[in-house]
Every structure is written in C-alpha cells, then in structure tokens.
Chains A and B, each alone.
Chain A
Amino acid sequence: DAKTTQPTSMDCAEGRAANLPCNHSTISGNEYVYWYRQIHSQGPQYIIHGLKNNETNEMASLIITEDRKSSTLILPHATLRDTAVYYCIVRALGFSGGSNYKLTFGKGTLLTVNP
C-alpha cells in the first residue's frame, strides 16, 4: 500500500469547515483513498472512501486531486464531537485470495475543534 503523509495536528473553530489534507504521491492506479477517525479510547470509525472522483456522504466530503497524489477530507460544519484523530489510508480494493484485507493506520492528524 502507498505511504501517506498527514499533518500531526490541526485546529478548527466550531461551526467552521475542517479541511484535512493527505499526501499520497506514490498511489497506484488501483488504490483507493480511505478516511477513518478515532475518538479517544474508542474504535476507529469509517468516514468515506474514493478512487478518483470526489465523494460526499452524510459525514464528509472527499476531494481527490486530478493526479491523485493528494486528497482533502472536508467536514463542512465541525462540532466539538468531531475532535478525533483522522487517518488517511491508501489501499487497493481487496480481492479474494489477496493480502489487501488489512487496514494500515499511520499516526493520523489530531483535529481539535475549539468552541
């Protein structure tokens, strides 16, 4: 799986958009970008994933650059409950018999939403 680089920490004001960047310059053509988050002492929570088109769901939007070397997770209206470590993961979509079943979590970005 390609390596990802994320800032160690970021701050955001409550109610504002939180934009979390991720660099994945060695991403391969068949690799997806996944985002998870982990609130302190809880299990990680799946947020969103995408291949090359921008994606949006009820939690967030994912913007992937045209060359796919970087992406941004956007939380449109951050709340205090969004304070968490956000992980950007790049992996190929798993296939039967392959070894892509695991998620490789790096250190992520600690997003702190301030009142």
Chain B
Amino acid sequence: DGGITQSPKYLFRKEGQNVTLSCEQNLNHDAMYWYRQDPGQGLRLIYYSQIVNDFQKGDIAEGYSVSREKKESFPLTVTSAQKNPTAFYLCASSIDKQGNEQFFGPGTRLTVL
C-alpha cells in the first residue's frame, strides 16, 4: 500500500534530550512537510522540503531540525532548545512542490517528561 508512515505513534522522552521522529513515504512525492498540533488547535508548519537536499523553515522552526537526504524520508529532530516540545507531530507530503493536496501520516504524539 502506498502511504506515509510515522513511527513511533507514541514517544516519551526526558527533558533535555534530543529526539528524532521518523517520516517515510512511498508515494514518490516531491514535497514533504512537518506540522505540530497542540490540543484543540490547528496545525502549525515547522519545516518543509520541496526537493531532496533542500528544506525551508516554516512558522515555528526554532528548536527543530530536519534533513532530506532521500526523497522518501524527512526526519524531524526535536532538540532540547524547543521550549514546549510536548505535542502531536504530523508529517505530510504532496506530489507537487506547491503543497496542493497534502497527504498526512498518522502522527507521532511526543511527551516530554
């Protein structure tokens, strides 16, 4: 089945530790995105990548880092510099570089203790 996978679904970390969230897609989509969702809120864009080896900051990039070494993979690292890391993290991809019709993964719920 084609789709976007994120792992793990639930992740717990101690404060001060970096953690990397996985996002893989086999849809052959060019563009990939990371969003953050807080309870009762909409989605906010963290980073996006329109092509391999290139990525851009979104609205709330501080405390996060990404890489795009392969078309199918776009991992997100939540660093200790992120003040409020506990959230639901969503990865998405789109077949075009302009972000039309974005397809989302199941999400990773990160809790920092």
Contact = CB atoms under 8 A, between A and B. Distances in A.
Contacts of B96: 94
Contacts of A87: 42
B99 A46 contact: no
B104 A44 contact: yes
Contacts of B40: 107
B43 A46 contact: no
Given A93-B98, A101-B98, A107-B40, A45 B33 contact: no
Contact of B50 (A44, A93, A101, A108): A101
Nearest to A95: B98
B43 A96 contact: no
A93 B41 CA distance: 24
Interface residues of B, number: 30
B52 to A, nearest CB: 16
Interface residues of A, number: 22
B105 interface: yes
A63 to B, nearest CB: 20
Contact of B48 (A95, A102, A107): A102
Interface string B4-41: 10100000000000000000000000010100000011
Given A43-B90, A45-B104, A103 B99 contact: yes
Given A42-B107, A43-B104, A94 B42 contact: no
Contacts, number: 64
Given A93-B98, A94-B100, A96-B98, A107 B42 contact: yes
A44 B90 contact: yes
A106 B43 CA distance: 8
Contacts of B59: 102
Contacts of B97: 94, 96, 101
A49 B99 CA distance: 13
17 contacts: A41-B109, A43-B4, A43-B6, A43-B90, A45-B104, A46-B102, A94-B97, A94-B98, A94-B99, A98-B98, A101-B33, A101-B48, A101-B99, A103-B43, A106-B42, A107-B42, A108-B42
